[in-house]
Structure 1
Amino acid sequence: MVNRSKLVVLSTLVLLSGAASVPAQQPKERSHVERFSTPEAKAGREESEASAKLAANPNDDQALNARAIARIRLGRYHEAFEDARRAVSLKPADSDYQANLGYVLWKLGRPEEAINAERTALKLNPKNTTAHYQLGRFLLRLGQQKDLNEAVGELRKALELDPRQYEVRFELIGAYRELGNLAEAAAQLDVLQDSRPTDPRVFYVTGLLDTDRNDLNSALKNFNEAITRDPTMFAAWQDLGLAYMKANRWTDAMNAFAELVRRQPNSVEAAYFHALALYNSDKTSEAESEARRTLRLDAGAVEAHTLLGIILASRGNANSEAADALSQAIALNPNSFDAQLYLGRVQYSMKDYAGAAKSFRAAVTLNPRHAEARFFLGTTLELAGDSNAAMSEYQELIKAQPDSAMGQLGLGALLVKQGRFDEAVVALRRAVALNPKEFEAHWALGRALALKERYAEAVQSFQTAISLAPNRSDAHYQLGLALRRLGRTEEANREFGIVERLNTEFRTSTKPL
């Protein structure tokens, strides 16, 4: 008797233990039909042959296992499960049957049972390559950090038993990447590059490792090579788009995801990333349509609800609908930092300061080191009349991040309100030093200096603020006041004239809703 062969299911990159043992004999020459049949047609014939044997003997465990494998290839997992289960019940000591049962259980969404089946297979035969591979693969797919080292161990055992199983090396690269062990991942990739230099997947995983090293140019080159060799490699299309996003090449990202959406119109992830790329390419209307399409595909897509809320808020006239979308995201996942942060911003713009404070506090709880979230929380508390709580937030921000311009700005602006001008000037000078491009910091510093009657210095601060935001009428007005205090009446009147012009333009350009 010969050992059971190992069949490679290329469509799923999963090894399955072979069908029944057969007496050693010279292989029969395959017919023309067999040589040129599709995998589906071949699986169909194997299913029919196994069914014929089972009609003669319903308890033929080898035929049950063979039919289970054929049905797996045909994607009929419930039927495959019944066959695999019966094969195991007839011959529970067969390691291969247990391994195949584990694979079917995995495909049916029963991961714990699948893992137990693979462990049972290995107890029966510690040298079962398929069971080692599938156990390692399943542990890796579960995504639990505690399981990664065991996953690596199982995959390495599979390779030790059969170094020719290149599918195992692809999985092992994934496991090492999850562990952050890029050196070991690269070592496995070297073997694949030598043995399979034209395989599109080799270019794809090379691109993934390039991304891990932040070598985006090389990653883009390899992802593009992968999809050129295999345009149906959807994961490569997605990672190509993500690499373009990381490189801030939003138009290229938009085009990559547009192609992925064309190829996978029902993919929720593809639709979401397409909407995100459209939005960042300043195609707001198209982005809104695509975000809504994403939600038609999956109404529970938290990121899509969040993105839709952000898009609606950017319109400036749909804050109520934006708040609804962001609230829905939070209802689905209260731990969504982005949804909490942007809901707070929308509520702030709607002057719902109590609601905004609640949302910003939730965001800060989720990410205590996020400067913008804590700054907005402090600002909202300040507007709600709780100056002490606002001061605590600004001080906490500065304590955690001494170089935070936002923290110094919030603290300085609040000190101005409290009449503590000397302290305010110190904080605001620190803010403009940390971020010379921040309009609000220069504006607030100008106000503090003017209130200290240091008008010449105030003029300089207001002029810098105006250079950063020429259309801010409040800055022109404060500059005019400071100039007038210095007796520079003509210049002051010119600033007041600009204020009048800007206000007139605003009134005439704003249409009633």
Structure 2
Amino acid sequence: MRRRATEKLIVRCFTCLIVLILTFEFCPNAAFARAYTTFEKGLEKFSHRQFADSIGIFQKAVQEDPNDGDAWTFLGRAYMMQDQLPEAIDACTKAIELNPENAQAYTFREFCHFQMKHIREGLEDSEKAIKYYKPNTFEPSLIWALDNRVRACRMIRRTDLIEQDLNLLQTYEILDKAIKHREWARLNDAITTVDQAIKNMPKNADMWFFRGVVNSNKRDFWNAAADFSNAIRCAPDAWFLYYFRADVYQQVNQNREAVRDLTTLINAHPRLAAYRFVCETGRLRDQGIRIDESPITMQDIYYLRAQSNAELGNIREAIDDLSEALKLDPTDTKVLALRAEFVSENGKDDDAIKDFTEAIRQNPSDWTRYQQRGNAYLKLGKKKEAMDDFAEIVKRNPNDPGSYLIRALARDKNGDLEGALADYSQVIKLNPRDDDAYLARGVCFRSLHRYKEALDDWNQAATINPENKSIVMAEKAKLYVETGEEKLARSQTAPLDRALAAKRPNYWLYGSIAGGCVLVGAIVFFVRRKRKAKTK
């Protein structure tokens, strides 16, 4: 009997919940509730152009693992950005010793050699940077290698060395223009520009990849999937491409294809699944942070595959994926909470509560976990523990009406009408224009046989928002039935019946039209048949 009156309130409650969650997630450290590795911390500083700070972190990374070629490469790049060229050359040399085909390290060392007038060494490095370049998740460093080489050759008047490089450089310069269009949110211009580059180099993965990124930003996910597929055909071992295609597959609910691509990534097990152009993808999509460079790790891939598996109904596989993610980082409270939700769906609420409790222990300030644990307690009939959790939400957000709405719904569901009434009243006190709270409090008043107060609340709800009129009339009709005032009850339902009748299809009219069409068709058929008979 009470369900219809509280439908809008439930929607309102979820809206408040989402707002509070987003408020929490707008904090810079909340984009991922997990710990970064030393190398990833260095990348974070570098992406914020805090080069001096990143040097210290990358130095720590290579001390922790002297064979970390990526850390040596970025240490060299950070030195280069600080104009510490000899140190940059040394770091890049170490990276090249670890991997003689490290195109990025050659590119950064090339630049340093040219800056120090070491032309021969710079040209040698530029040849290797171009030769070994592959599409990668960090940046299209080929354009820098080409540009530095062309500038140096022109300076020494050896343009004969760069005849083959000019067309390639020109195409990558077009790509660079497209990237700048995207930075300025000119997405259509970015597509038009990158299409020119694709026309020059139709089998270049960098071009198709960027086109897919822009189409994804435009929410043109099907075209983005086609673009990423073209990029994968050009560079099937560029693993980051599978991450981006899986992401757009998830957006169009193609979860089998998303699982396939994410599994490809897991099997390849690259150090980072993605880094560049990631702000509107995966776990970052719904965050308030708009940083385009952020490390996407294998833990994130397991998390995303769990989501797709859950959408496919493979809850057991989803739980397994989240367990793998937790092995990589046991401190990720979002993974813990999601696993708890899936475990609860499997009917194991005791185990779910353990995960929620661990998430709360690790991050007590995240009140959303109290709400989730409270719901799990309710499913087990542990009302006291549940209400303690809902009380904690109110304690942490005493001035937010959404906190009281959450507790009010829980109290209402468990028959604590007086408690629910107090919470709805607090919502109205904090937000006197909250029509949903008036509707729900009116239902509470009716259940407590406080009919005048119920009618006052419903009238107020209709005054604040005229769209509530039909709900108010239905609730009043129930009230008048309870009080034995059938005439008043019919006065409330009659307008609803008329409105419903007006929306019903006029089957007599449709039947008459259909019958007329059949009759006309029959007449035409017999007339034509008669004419044919006369002709014969």
TM (norm. structure 1) is 0.50
Structure with more relative contact order (C-alpha pairs < 8 Å, separation 6 or more): 2
